[in-house]
Structure 1
Amino acid sequence: MPSNVEIKAKVSDLTHIGEKAATLSQSEGTIILQHDTFFNCSNGRLKLRDFMDGSGQLIFYERPDTDGPKLSRYSISPTSDPQSLQTVLSDALGVKGEVWKERRLFMIGQTRVHLDTVRGLGHYMELEVVMRPEQTVEEGQRVAEELMEKLGVSPESLVTGAYVDLILDGHEET
């Protein structure tokens, strides 16, 4: 199962981090609209990501709900009919919650940098260090921590859990 080391942080100024990410990635990033539907699942998380262009991905992942860099294992299956799949999974499993976001994606080395504006929550940044088979979790954590520093993200701004958890827990945009 593929894996990555992830961090998520609440940020107040996406523009400033976006400028740093653009410089480090030598790109302006890619804007992606996403609607994620999370389904009831006995272990890990199961979500359907609708890119709102007729394509999507069914994603299962497991990761601890702790702040700081953490290992996430995942499986992804593409779909060309996310709306129909959402209906079937909703009927079969029930919906746990939904997340609507606009994401700006940058690639910096082996790391996906996401600058997210999440409906009802505000602005966040995620790092996903895509692990190579020969890398240890500690190496992935080091890559994440170094990139956090380069982007000016403080350890105090780190959050735990998924966006859906924050929404379900009643966190609101600040």
Structure 2
Amino acid sequence: MPSNVEIKAKISDPTQFAETAAKLSKSEGTIIRQHDTFFNCNQGRLKLRDFMNETGQLIFYERPDTDGPKLSRYSISPTNNPPSLRTVLSEALGVKGEVKKERRLFLIGQTRVHLDTVEGLGHYMELEVVMRPEQTVEEGQQVAEDLMEKLDVSKESLVTGAYMDLILKGIKET
């Protein structure tokens, strides 16, 4: 199962963050609109990501709900009919909730840097260090921590869990 080391943090100044990420990635980033539907499941998380263009991905992942860099293992299956798959999974498993966001993706080395505007939550960033087969978790964590420093992301701004967890807890935009 592929893996990455992830962190998620609240962002107070998305414009400044985007400027810094653009300099580091030498690009303006790519805008991606996503509508994620989370389904009830016994372990990990299962979500259907609809890219709002007749394509999507069914994603299962497991990761600890801690702040700071953490290992995430995942499996992804593409789909060309997200609405139909959403109906089947909703009937079979039940819907836990939905997350709508606009994501600006920057690629910096082996890391996917996301600047997310999440409906009802506000501005966040995510780092996903895509692990190479020969890399240790500690090496991936070091890559994430180094990039956090370059992006001026403080440890105090780190959050645990998924956006879905924050929505279910009733955390609102500040």
CA distance in 1: counterparts of 2:20 and 2:173, whole angstroms: 24
Partner letter of residue 129 of structure 2? V
Aligned partners of 2:166, 2:147: CA distance in 1, in Å? Answer: 24
User: For residues 109-167 of structure 1, what are the alpha-carbon distances to aligned partners after superposition, in whole Å with 9 as ceiling and x for unaligned?
Assistant: 00000000000000000000000000000000000000000000000000000000000
Residue 45 of structure 1 aligns with which residue? 45
SS at match of 2:58: strand
Name the % identity.
Answer: 83
CA distance in 2, matches of 1:109, 1:156: 25
- Alignment-derived partner of residue 18 in structure 2: 18
Paired position in structure 2 for 1:131: 131
Corresponding residue of 1:171: 171
- Provide the alpha-carbon RMSD of the alignment: 0.3
- Secondary structure class of the residue paired with 1:92: helix
Residue 71 of structure 2 aligns with which residue? 71
Secondary structure of the 2:126 match is strand
C-alpha separation between the residues in 2 aligned to 1:84 and 1:46?
16
Alpha-carbon distance in 2 for matches of 1:70, 1:82: 29
Find the counterpart in structure 2 of residue 85 from structure 1: 85
Partner of residue 143, structure 1: 143
For the residues of structure 2 that align with 1:4 and 1:82, how far apart are their CA atoms? 25
1:104 CA displacement: 0.1
State the shift of 1:91 in Å.
0.3
Distance of 1:56 and 1:137 partners within structure 2: 29
- Which amino acid is 1:72 matched to? S
How many residues are matched? Answer: 174
| Alpha-carbon shift at residue 103 of structure 1 (Å) | 0.2
For 2:152, give the aligned amino acid.
G
Q: TM-score, normalised by structure 1?
A: 1.00
Task: List structure 1 runs of 4+ shifted beyond 2 angstroms.
Answer: none
Q: Secondary structure at the match of 2:6?
A: strand
Tell me the CA shift for residue 28 of structure 1: 0.4
CA distance in 1, matches of 2:14, 2:53: 25
SS in 1 for 2:153: coil
CA distance in 2, matches of 1:138, 1:25: 23
**Structure 2 segments unaligned to the other structure (5+ residues):** none
Could you say which residue in structure 2 is the equivalent of 1:111?
111
TM-score by length of 2: 1.00
Distance 1:104 1:167 in 2: 20
1:155 maps to 2:171: no
